[in-house]
Amino acid sequence: MDNYFESPFRGVTLDKQVTNPNIVVGRYSYYSGYYHGHGFDDCARYLMPDEGVDRLIIGSFCSIGSGAAFIMAGNQGHRHDWISAFPFYWMSEVPAFAGAENGYLPAGDTVIGNDVWIGSEAVIMPGITVGDGAVIGTRALVTRDVEPYTIVGGNPAKPIRKRFDERQIGLLLEMKWWEWEDGALHGAMPLLTSGDVDGLHRYWLGLAS
């Protein structure tokens, strides 16, 4: 898109965009795809609509940058422990390939937690779990699970730092603010848009009392 404000997906959350039944999305998560000019379905590469295949599961309040890619379908039939990584099995119309074994190995669901920020053109490999509150740097290649509230970047992606200290991260994971009703979120908005984790925790305790 030449103009962000003309994008047909501007302001449309992912739960209203996705059409593949193997993509599961929480509330308010969005994809900012105006630069690459496509919707979010194009970000889930090789993800088939068939029942029983690996799924892409995305939590609530996630921000996903333009051109981010989630590589699905396990190893896509390419076995690097075999002499040839070529997927002969999937070209059964070629007589010379008769008798080839199917090298496909599923990787399991790719799971993106809640309040995760994924930078533009980052790549998430199959079967990865990204924890709540994590930040994936622009063009990072994520080949291993990412812990909650950890900032990672690079190729391959490596931890850069934690967003908060371990005590604060424990409080955030305990509160699970992304599960709160909209009324509670409204009251907490001045805290959610600050770095006051302890203040948010006090607010949360007040909700329960």
Q: Which residues are catalytic?
A: 78
Q: CA dihedral in degrees (113, 60, 10, 7; nearest 10)? A: 30
CA pair distance 56, 110, nearest whole angstrom: 5
For residue 65, what are its two tokens? 């940058």
Residue (of 76, 72, 77) closest to 126 by Cα position: 72
Residue 103 CA neighbour count, 13 Å, CB half = 18
Residue (of 192, 14, 194, 22) closest to 106 by Cα position: 22
Question: What are the Cα distances from residue 146, in Å, to 113, 149, 161, 172, 189?
Answer: 10, 9, 12, 16, 27
Q: CA dihedral in degrees (90, 92, 94, 95; nearest 10)? A: 140
